[in-house]
A and B are shown apart, each in its own frame.
Chain A
Amino acid sequence: MPAESDIKIMPKSVVCEESTLNGDITISSGCVVHPSATIIAEAPIVLGENCIVEEYATIAHRLKDGAASDASNTLHIGANNVFEVGCTVEAARIGDKNVFESKCFVGSGVTVSSGCVVGAGIQLRTAQVLPENTIVYGRQALQREAIEKQGSQTLQIDFLRKVLPNYHHLRKPNYDPKKARSVV
């Protein structure tokens, strides 16, 4: 089990203390991680800017047999992603502006590009690539292509950034990219 100190939290992000963070995790600025959200990094995870990880959401980067758990095997999650309540995402790659709706499951073989929406309760288990702007919806997990990407959640992030500190203890930002650069 990697130590807690592997977690890097950039300034201006809101990470609740009750969240479960395991492994080498970098949370970029502007992210919101709700209480009881789970991020499991058997290999390093870098969460992009302005992502929202809601309650009971699980983001996992599982280690495959023989794969290295060092920086060469990093899961880079893009910016402006939303992981809604109760979703489980183990995707191999995640781009920008995706929405994982409530209780969906994205398996480890799935590559999610950008602007995709995985609808509520949908289970994607087989290895596949979701092209840009794909929307998976409905009971039969039909796919369609959206014309434009999903709008960013700026309002929601601003609201959460205001509200969450009132009711939860936060993990302190412990890594400042500017300072780090100055040190180097």
Chain B
Amino acid sequence: MSFMQPSPVKYACSCGIVNPINKLFFCRHCPKLRCGYCVSHEVESHFCSNCLENIPSSEARHKKNCCANCFDCPCCHHTLSARATTVPVVRKTEEPKDGESAGAATPPPASSKPSAVPTTKKMYYLSCLSCRWTTRDVGIPDQGVATGTWPDNECLYQARFNTLMEYYQSVVLQEKQEKQEFQRRKAPKAHKFPSLTDRTGLTVSLIRRQIGWSEKNVPKTKPLNITPAEAISELEDLPQDIFTQPINLRNITTVAQRHSQPADQPTAVGNLYPQRRSLWIKRSLRCRQCEHNLIKPEYHPTSIKYRIQLFASYHVPEVVMVRLEHPLEAGQSNAILLKLSNPTMYDMTISILDEKPTEEPQINPDEFQATCKIKEEAVTSSPLMKVAALARQTLTKEVTREVRDVANAKIKLLESEFVLNQRDDSKEFDEEVQAQTEEPNFIVWRKGNKVLLRLQFTPAAELEVNDVVTLGFFMQYTYVNTVSNTAEKKEPTTHTLSSRLFIDAGRIEKGN
């Protein structure tokens, strides 16, 4: 399969979106095709793509999803790298004459005093290898250590931002408290035994008042007062020289540069400061119907492997378009050669249909859901994961939209179904001494788990020159499921599944 050019063979996902097979997933538990739109995406872990450090999600939130050590160039948005320079250290005992010349690369062997031995110190600055921007350009002093000590640029409105944030946090807290209070009053605690106050109508606060005690009150949190923002009606006039002075475009930032520094959005290049690098995430995908994981990456940022990977190309027979027998002509019968390969360890029986086959009775959905839930509990036993599960986006009922039928050619169905052999990597190296079995005449070639198929079709007669011919059919295949949904069934079950395929065969070359 070529990843560089779009595949002409597309599969319809169970949600109705058409995708090439390498963008599809296969839920073994449902068992259905899933695509990126009909699974729920979850953040598995945060990491920095530059230093490959794994950062826990709570820490990531605290650091505003930025890496603590890595910076992006404010000018061209590449990663900055630390450069070391040796700076001669000037001793205080030395004469000012030595201090003057200390800027040169080699301090002169001035006096015979032992204190005048030139000592150098390593200093670091950040530099962009793409546009040669350095921290020295904006006057950030060099640092003695390469990471960790770079100053955060505080923008002008930082204090205002902080007070606003505090204020709204306290507002949220107050609202929460009031809600709790309201709930507590609305539903009094049901005691096992009726208390005295229930019968007499006395309440705790009444008694307290009668005794003469002070009112017991939870100190209510009051939001801090903030000064509201004021609209200014009078603006300062533009400086006079704005109309007379020519603009030096090199000192003015681009829109991309301003947006990368959203807090102050500088207009002059002198105010560009290194930006902390945004974290990347590893993503896990979950089937929305049965809540099983389809994709779960390895936790470690340097690993590109998966713990769970249910890509469709591991489970669904792959169809590759090989060639057409004749140039496409409207209304003229033609044949297409398709290569089918079986990625699973079990033989598949495949048939090509032109309408959706009647579904085999599925497993009872409720029971199925229940067993899935139990499994899920076992998997996500840690408390942290449970919280995550609660916060997870609500799993919606599957919305099936109709697959738009874009096929415009008539398929001549195959006379019979055929078997696609199991995948066997060791067979690749075997000598080819396969006994010639009686093959149906539509099978052109067969080797191992691959079959070359000749499928006859006729493009619709009303097609014009340069119209795209699309073949559409249902591919029914048997799939052996090795995972069992119920505890008692252990042996693999065989399902008969079907996928709808659309093949972009090409354009009509000749008119009638």
Note whether A and B form a binding pair: yes
Within 8 A of A (CB), among B101-137: 130-134, 136-137
A138 to B131, CA, bound (A): 7
Instruction: Tell me which residues across on chain B come within 8 A of A137, comparing CB atoms.
Output: 76, 130-132
In this complex, what residue of A is CB-closest to B254? A142
Task: Bin chain B's interface residue count.
Answer: 10 to 19
* B254 proximity list for chain A (CB < 8 A): 142
Contact with B along A109-146 (1 / 0, CB 8 A): 00000000101000000000000000101100011111
Q: Is B469 an interface residue (CB 8 A)?
A: no
Cβ-defined contact, A119 with B131, below 8 A: yes
Contacting pair B136 A145 (CB below 8 A): no
Residue of B nearest to A140 (CB): B254
Query: Are A146's CB and B76's CB within 8 A?
Result: no
How many A-B residue pairs lie within 8 Å, measured between CB atoms? 30
Q: Answer yes or no: A70 CB below 8 A from chain B CBs.
A: no
Contacts of B76 in A (CB 8 A): 137-138, 142
CB of B258 to closest CB in A, whole Å: 14
B250 CB contacts on chain A under 8 angstroms: 143-145
Chain B residue at minimal CB-CB distance from A143: B250
Q: Are B130 and A146 in contact (CB under 8 A)?
A: no
**How far in angstroms is the closest Cβ of chain A from B104?**
13
Cα–Cα distance between A119 and B132 once the two chains are bound (Å): 9
How many residues of chain A have a CB within 8 Å of chain B?
13
Nearest A residue (CB) for B269: A144
Q: In angstroms, how far is the closest chain B Cβ from the Cβ of A138?
A: 6
Query: A140–B131 Cα gap in the complex (Å)?
Result: 12
**Per a CB cutoff under 8 Å, which of B75, B132, B137, B269 touches A150?**
B132
Asked if A147 is at the interface of the complex by the 8 Å CB criterion, the answer is yes
CB distance B132 to A117 under 8 Å? yes
Tell me if A65 is interfacial: C-beta within 8 Å of chain B. Answer: no
How far is A144 from B132 in the complex, measured between Cα atoms in Å?
Answer: 10
List the B residue with the shortest CB-CB distance to A146.
Answer: B132
Contact A147 B132 (CB under 8 A): no
Q: Which residues of B contact A135 (CB under 8 A)?
A: 131-132
Choose from A117, A142, A143, A146 the contact partner of B137 (Cβ within 8 Å): A146
CB distance from B139 to the nearest CB of A (A): 9
Q: Which residue of B lies closest to A145 (CB)?
A: B250
Residue pairs across A and B with Cβ atoms less than 8 A apart, 8 shown, are A117-B132, A135-B132, A137-B130, A142-B131, A142-B254, A143-B250, A146-B137, A147-B136
Q: Which residues of B contact A (CB under 8 A)?
A: 75-76, 130-134, 136-137, 250-251, 254, 269
Chain A residues with a Cβ under 8 A of chain B: 117, 119, 135, 137-138, 142-148, 150
* 18 additional A-B residue pairs with CB within 8 Å, beyond A138-B131, A148-B136: A137-B76, A137-B130, A137-B131, A137-B132, A138-B130, A142-B76, A142-B131, A142-B254, A143-B250, A144-B75, A144-B133, A144-B250, A144-B269, A145-B250, A146-B132, A146-B137, A147-B134, A147-B137
